[in-house]
Amino acid sequence: MFVACIDIGGTFTDLLLYREGADLEIHKSPTTPGMFERGFIDVLDVAAKSHNMELGQFLAKTDMIVHGTTVSTNALVEGKVAPTGLICNAGHPDILTLRESPRKRAFNIKIDYPPPYIHRNRTCEVRGRIDSMGNEIEPLSEEDVRAAARHFKACKVEAVAVCLLWSIVQPSHERRIREILAEELPGVPVTLSHELNPIPREYRRTISAAINASLYPIVSEYVGKLTAALKDAGYDGELLIANCVGGMMPPEAIVERPIYSVMSGPTLAPIAAINLTTAENVIVVDMGGTTFDVSALRNRHLVVTPEATFGMEMLGIPKIDVRSVGAGGGSIAWVDSGGLLRVGPHSASAMPGPACYGRGGTEPTVTDANVVLGIIDPDYFLGGRIKLDRAKAEAAIGKIAKQLKVSLVEAAYAIYSTTNHNMIGAIEDITVNEGIDPRDSYVVSGGGATACHIGDMARILGIKSLMVPRFAAGLSAYGGLISDVRWEETGTLNTTDKDFDLAGVNRLLAALQKRGTAFLKRSGIKPQSQRFEFAFQGRYLYQSWDIEVPFAMTGGKLAKGDLALLAKAFHDQHERIYTIKDEADTVEFTTWKVRAIGDNGGGERAGQTLSRQKGKIQPKTSRKVYLGKGFRDVPVYDTEVFGAGAKLAGPAVLELPTTTILLLEKQEVAVDERGNFLIELKG
């Protein structure tokens, strides 16, 4: 029986296939924008044909499919979300306009003040007020709610978000609003802020509720189409969908909270890295067709951020910290009005794709540049399944050469170098800008295009050790294949280390764990396969912003002696992030979290080990590759014949069916027992 993980990227849809007793397989098919479910079925068909099966026969032998979706991410990027209404307290209609004030890029005069996520003409105020202690100061005006419903009906909204002050303490008004809307707007989904994101910060609760509501019809429709397509193709096994906290959820759970599917695919890459390396601090990079994604592991922990942003908006929910820039294999090179070369953020995407694909694309892309430079063999793209057109790549890059008044090869190398520095900037953003020296980290390099560039990037950054996984082109899919079922429950209880409410915190943690257990039970996870992780958000007294701190809890609850450990964990985390700590200051705990994790057998899907390398490795051929100072005849190796322990030194080109590794001078590679390529900078 098979287990498959499918990750939809900007250019290709990746499938990583596991079968007990056999090695992992990677399959690719072009992504189908606008009809992603078709590309999903297409790549399953590719896998079926590789086993000489009809699609229905293959699906009958498939136990589980896990999936990282980009539908919600694309909807946000393109602004193609459902028309959504917002209900808030009287006097607070501008919460989505004022936000938390622009803490980033505050002095960039070129940025217009962005419009609110939900415009004022679809924002309705209702009278009624709950105070911070949960007391009703003013009863809810039900007529205001019904008037809002009539207005939303006239505006043809498809979803409604509700966020009232202090609903996290007393949610009765929000719940009553939902009951009234069900009467007035039957069938229209309603998101309540206290259920989705029970945190004190009003803007973050409001924006998360608004985004969730606006994505509900889109994600619901996509999941419906996908499950129907799978059923029509003959699949009746289990389907799990990735979330942005590093795990999987059943389809019905992701439909209920679609905001958790935003950027869910890239969050699987650090999950893969945890399995691939034992290094403590890791930079994880993944260059696909459209974007370059960067994430990190700190002390072998996923970095979860409550500050996740999307464009000029904050998501309002915690997610694995993944930074993205528009630098992918399909990123388009262009010359600006000042005569400077730029690469991205626009992409040739899957259709028509780079010029060398021969599908009608004419714009110069990073992939075209790599073909001109000799890094990519036009006859061995995807192991020879796709033949690239070198002449069309040269014609596209020739446009840039003409504008810059340089030779064809110089233009291609300028695109290559510019792309590398764009990606280096993203790496520095998650390391240098947060006080981390990238030279102290290990790099796991994923993505089909990254291995062409990572050697030069590592040289510039001074990184001495990195890994290109055997299935680098499907790193996120690999992460999905081995990931657990994962969910997060959050609750608010404000207390300090001076007057710590131990009983209250334990009651809250028990309630959160109970809800997490119920989720795992609904997901089919047996009790012996369940585990829980704990974290709190805290700050020094009178600080404005919280940081998240993981902590351990034994025996099912906190004891008095644990308070000192909680405070120490906060001080240490504060010092790591801000380089300072004040152990004499009061620590304020604001929010508590329980992450429910269910083992669905992913740890057993790591793939088979290689036999030992026998004899000296011989190149299959050689070709001229431009290395910055002219073309050089470089040996080309077929990695399919490598065994564990194989070693060689650069410069060299290592070809896999789904990626190409460019090894530079003073870089040496060794193959580990799982077929991963370990690269060291020597000298």
Task: Kindly state whether residue 150 falls inside one of the protein's structural domains.
Answer: yes
Q: Report whether pLDDT(112) > 80.
A: no
Report pLDDT for 463.
92
Domain boundary among 599, 624, 641: 599
User: 413 and 489 share a domain?
Assistant: no
Q: Which tokens in the block code for residue 665?
A: 């001078």
Give the integer Cα–Cα distance in Å for 569 and 559.
16
Q: Report whether pLDDT(153) > 90.
A: yes
Name which residue leads in pLDDT, 255 or 350: 255
Name which residue leads in pLDDT, 509 or 485: 509
- Per the prediction, the chain carries an average pLDDT of 90
User: 394 and 497 share a domain?
Assistant: no
Domain boundary among 547, 582, 599: 599
**Range 542-560 average pLDDT:** 87
Report pLDDT for 104.
57
Q: Report whether pLDDT(663) > 60.
A: yes
Q: Report whether pLDDT(469) > 60.
A: yes
Q: Report whether pLDDT(1) > 90.
A: no
Give the integer Cα–Cα distance in Å for 608 and 470.
12
User: 506 and 408 share a domain?
Assistant: no
At residue 124 the predicted structure's pLDDT band, cuts being 50, 70 and 90, is very high
What single DSSP character describes residue 579? Answer: S
CA angle 286, 292, 296 (to 5 degrees): 55
Percent of the chain with pLDDT over 90: 60
Report pLDDT for 307.
76
At residue 290 the predicted structure's pLDDT band, cuts being 50, 70 and 90, is confident
User: 88 and 171 share a domain?
Assistant: yes
User: 401 and 493 share a domain?
Assistant: no
Task: Kindly state whether residue 159 falls inside one of the protein's structural domains.
Answer: yes
Task: Kindly state whether residue 142 falls inside one of the protein's structural domains.
Answer: yes
User: 87 and 184 share a domain?
Assistant: yes
Report pLDDT for 106.
62
**Range 403-417 average pLDDT:** 96
Report pLDDT for 102.
54
Q: What is the number of domains present in the chain?
A: 3
At residue 544 the predicted structure's pLDDT band, cuts being 50, 70 and 90, is confident
Q: Report whether pLDDT(8) > 90.
A: no
Task: Kindly state whether residue 279 falls inside one of the protein's structural domains.
Answer: no
User: 492 and 380 share a domain?
Assistant: no
CATH code, domain carrying 566: 3.30.1490
Task: Kindly state whether residue 178 falls inside one of the protein's structural domains.
Answer: yes
Task: Kindly state whether residue 71 falls inside one of the protein's structural domains.
Answer: no
Domain boundary among 181, 215, 249: 215
DSSP bridge pairs for 377 = none
Q: Report whether pLDDT(662) > 80.
A: yes
Question: Range of 192's domain?
Answer: 79-215
Task: Kindly state whether residue 614 falls inside one of the protein's structural domains.
Answer: no
DSSP bridge pairs for 547 = 538
User: 87 and 187 share a domain?
Assistant: yes
**Range 506-515 average pLDDT:** 94
Beta-carbon count within 10 A of 405 CB: 9
At residue 54 the predicted structure's pLDDT band, cuts being 50, 70 and 90, is very high
Identify which of 535, 515, 511 has the alpha carbon closest to the alpha carbon of residue 589. 535
By residue count, the chain amounts to 683
The pTM of the full predicted model, rounded to 2 decimals, is: 0.84
**Range 641-660 average pLDDT:** 92
Q: Report whether pLDDT(596) > 80.
A: yes
Q: Which of 31-45, 311-325, 356-370 has the lowest mean pLDDT?
A: 311-325
User: 106 and 187 share a domain?
Assistant: yes
Give the integer Cα–Cα distance in Å for 46 and 143.
57
Report pLDDT for 354.
92
User: 391 and 490 share a domain?
Assistant: no
**Range 48-53 average pLDDT:** 93
Report pLDDT for 101.
64
Say what the alpha-carbon torsion angle 415, 417, 420, 421 is, to the nearest 10 degrees.
-110
Task: Kindly state whether residue 118 falls inside one of the protein's structural domains.
Answer: yes
Report pLDDT for 94.
93
Q: Report whether pLDDT(103) > 60.
A: no
**Range 18-37 average pLDDT:** 84
User: 492 and 579 share a domain?
Assistant: yes
